[in-house]
Structure 1
């Protein structure tokens, strides 16, 4: 059964990534072993999440920018990557659907969460997501 909007929001905001001490936290997080996929402009990381979540992924720009500051090329890339990522995750038997959400506007990088409640079969295979996304470009890291 699908989650209510309140339940989905609670699961999204409870997803966490490791905290870091020095420098831009977003730049430092981008260099962690949680990287799923990357290219010269974007990085996709896997967030820690509970067993009732099939996937919690964070897509962010490498450069310091915010929503509304993306140039036309980055905005176009974001649309293509997002659409592909949603299709890939939703094609897995573990994912019920994908919510796309942006919060935390004070961070130094444009970023968007892709969150999928589990359909009852556990977590999605991150390697499969990375490999399929890399078919369009960029590098699989998972």
Structure 2
């Protein structure tokens, strides 16, 4: 238990509420609601070493966020958001983006929209070909045509 306390005290963090001023790439600019502190490179995630597999929740500009500030280096990280602008997820071969305009899903370089459009086009062509089939009533291999 003592080793856990040492580990937790290694990076003491202070919680605060802030307003999002600007969003850029993987960082945003926030100002605390009491206007005492401003952070120009507030990270969306506490762990930024992983560049390939990640989940990023991007807050709306003007919304309130809960931030944690590290006392030793005066850096801030977003812990929770009140309003979401965009959610982005990437894991190995999959990539997912969800925002106000809809969603986009990619896997192995293929876009879900393109795959579904290709399926719809192919199914439409199949329906067109089936519409051309003529079946005469009463004609089978056992019954001659009239």
TM-score (ref. length: structure 1): 0.23
Comparing both chains, which one has the higher relative contact order based on Cα–Cα distances under 8 Å and sequence gaps of 6 or more?
1
Greater radius of gyration (CA): 2
Determine which structure has the larger helix proportion and give its number: 1
TM-score (ref. length: structure 2): 0.23
Determine which structure has the larger strand proportion and give its number: 2
